[in-house]
A and B are shown apart, each in its own frame.
Chain A
Amino acid sequence: GEDVEQSLFLSVREGDSSVINCTYTDSSSTYLYWYKQEPGAGLQLLTYIFSNMDMKQDQRLTVLLNKKDKHLSLRIADTQTGDSAIYFCAENPGSQGNLIFGKGTKLSVKP
């Protein structure tokens, strides 16, 4: 079945790089997404990558996609305390637009 997996927690020091990993199961997914959720708030789209791309960079964010291994990662350079949040990986495997979400990785940034 469809499943998206992420580790639940990641702790880094301010200024270091953070890498959040995700594995997905549906090779037909055309788009893969990263969302950020701050406490008590909705999800905010950070970035997405089309399945025929290997990498996408957007300021401090770098997304890497290994389609063969169905592995997606989000790298945040120079991590700041404001980056502390839950990060969700999601895939779009079908034609109806329904996204399949991972359980989220809680990133804690220590000063």
Chain B
Amino acid sequence: DGGITQSPKYLFRKEGQNVTLSCEQNLNHDAMYWYRQDPGQGLRLIYYSQIVNDFQKGDIAEGYSVSREKKESFPLTVTSAQKNPTAFYLCASMTGSKTDTQYFGPGTRLTVL
């Protein structure tokens, strides 16, 4: 089955701890994206990567970091610098062609206690 996987589905962490969210795709897509979703806020772009070993900040990158060492993987680290990390995090991928669209993973709900 081709698709995007995110793990875990639910994640709990204590305040002040860094946490890494996993995103893997086997669609052979070039571009990958991380969004944050809060109730009534829609989706806000955190980071994106259009090619391996390269990534750019989105609208709300502060307190987050990413890496793109492999085409299939785009992990997101939520650092202790992120003031309000409790949210639903969505990963997406796209081939990079303008005629294509973004495909989303199932999401990870992070709760910081």
Please classify the interface of chain A as helix (H, G, I), strand (E, B), loop, or mixed, using the class held by over half of its residues: loop
Collect the chain A residues with CB atoms within 8 Å of residue B6's CB: 42
Q: A97-B50, A98-B48, A101-B43 are in contact. Are A41 and B101 (CB under 8 A)?
A: no
In the complex, per-residue mask of A88-111: 1 if CB is within 8 Å of any chain B CB, else 0: 100010011111011110000000
Please classify the interface of chain B as helix (H, G, I), strand (E, B), loop, or mixed, using the class held by over half of its residues: strand
Assess the B98–A97 pair: CB atoms within 8 A: yes
User: Cβ of A17 < 8 Å from any Cβ of B?
Assistant: no
User: Cβ of A53 < 8 Å from any Cβ of B?
Assistant: no
User: Cβ of B71 < 8 Å from any Cβ of A?
Assistant: no
Assess the B107–A8 pair: CB atoms within 8 A: no
Number of interface residues of B (CB under 8 A): 27
Residues of A near any B CB (own CB < 8 A): 8, 30-31, 33, 35, 40-45, 48, 88, 92, 95-99, 101-104
Assess the B104–A43 pair: CB atoms within 8 A: yes
The complex places the Cα of A42 from the Cα of B92 at a distance, in Å, of 9
